[in-house]
């Protein structure tokens, strides 16, 4: 019978070092490939697709001497960390120089409209961050579950059972949906307006990302509701 390490070896299509250069190349040229840096008792594995772009996870897998898995940890790729830093810096720069500093400089003429504008942009920023974070978390979970299934650590049936047992109606998720769903509809509206004004590609991108998120979230809720109904 094959060990966990031997099963993972069969999945790997490219071998590269876990460094920033190789992760940038992965995002540009190696989408869909299963890439790994192999060491004696540890493999670092990653893959990228068109949905997650730069923000994909890497998995650090530790083995015993006989090739069986002892531990699996995940974290954001080096390329994802770089782009997280870049986007965070741009977001801070935007808020500082286009919103906060102008409000401070015109403090004497401050009115309630400025506060509304600041609040709207804050909600937009939070919404984008939350959507991308949700995509990353879902991609990490799906990749991790797929890895466990392929090497025999778990079964698809058991994974589905565990997922269905998780409630989608916790207080945290209800509050998030109250804010995120209207925000998603607002993004679709803005994207459609952008297409009308000529910014076709950005508009299509905004619609695709938002619709994909709404579809995925509603599908999860409906699937769990249907599963629970069938078990009653």
User: 24 pLDDT exceeds 80?
Assistant: yes
Predicted confidence at residue 231, as pLDDT, reads: 56
pLDDT higher for 171 or 58?
A: 58
| Interval 103-108 mean pLDDT | 69
Which pLDDT does position 227 carry in this prediction?
A: 62
What is the domain partition of the chain in residue ranges?
4-78, 111-231
**What pLDDT does 46 receive?**
94
Asked if residues 206 and 187 have their Cβ atoms less than 8 Å apart, the reply is: yes
Cα-based distances in Å from 181 to 63, 90, 177, 184, 211: 43, 25, 6, 5, 11
Q: Provide the residue count of the chain.
A: 232
What confidence score (pLDDT) does residue 103 get?
A: 67
Report the distance separating Cα 161 and Cα 224, nearest Å. Answer: 10
Mean pLDDT computed over 154-164: 81
Contact (Cβ atoms closer than 8 angstroms) between residue 198 and residue 185: no
Q: Write the pLDDT tens digit of every residue in 177-215.
A: 887 788 778 778 877 887 887 777 767 877 877 787 788
Q: How far is CA 64 from CA 18, 61, 68, 189, in A?
A: 21, 10, 5, 54
Q: How confident is the model at residue 23, as a pLDDT? A: 94
| pLDDT value for 187 | 76
Q: How far is the C-alpha of 152 from the C-alpha of 10, rounded, in Å?
A: 13
Neighbours of 95 (CB within 10 A): 15
| 148 closest CA partner among 32, 45, 40 | 45
pLDDT band with cut points at 50, 70 and 90 for residue 113:
low
Q: How far apart are CA 168 and CA 184, in angstroms?
A: 18
SS3 51: coil
Residue 19, pLDDT above cutoff 70 = yes
| 146: its two tokens | 């797929």
pLDDT digits (tens, 9 = 90+) for 75-103: 999 999 999 899 888 888 877 776 677 66
Q: Residue 173: which H helix or E strand, with range? A: helix 171-197
Is a pLDDT exceeding 60 seen at residue 66? yes
């Amino acid at each position: 019978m094959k060990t966990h390490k031997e099963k993972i070896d069969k999945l790997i299509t490219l071998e590269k070092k876990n460094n920033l250069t190789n992760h940038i190349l992965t995002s540009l040229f190696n989408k869909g490939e299963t890439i790994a840096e192999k060491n004696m008792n540890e493999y670092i594995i990653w893959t990228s697709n068109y949905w997650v772009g730069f923000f994909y996870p890497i998995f650090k897998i530790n083995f015993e001497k006989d090739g069986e898995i002892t531990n699996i940890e995940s974290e954001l790729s080096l390329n994802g960390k770089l782009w997280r830093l870049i986007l965070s810096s741009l977001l801070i720069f935007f808020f500082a120089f286009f919103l906060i500093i102008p409000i401070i400089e015109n403090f004497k003429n401050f009115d309630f409209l400025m506060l509304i504008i600041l609040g709207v942009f804050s909600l937009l920023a939070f919404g984008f961050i939350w959507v991308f974070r949700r995509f990353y978390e879902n991609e990490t979970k799906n990749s991790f579950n797929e890895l466990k299934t392929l090497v025999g650590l778990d079964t698809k049936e058991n994974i589905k059972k565990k997922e269905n047992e998780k409630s989608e109606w916790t207080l945290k998720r209800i509050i998030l949906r109250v804010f995120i769903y209207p925000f998603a509809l607002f993004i679709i509206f803005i994207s459609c307006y952008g297409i009308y004004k000529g910014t076709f590609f950005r508009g299509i991108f905004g619609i695709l990302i938002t619709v994909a998120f709404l579809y995925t979230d509603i599908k999860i809720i409906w699937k769990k509701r249907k599963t629970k109904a069938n078990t009653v």
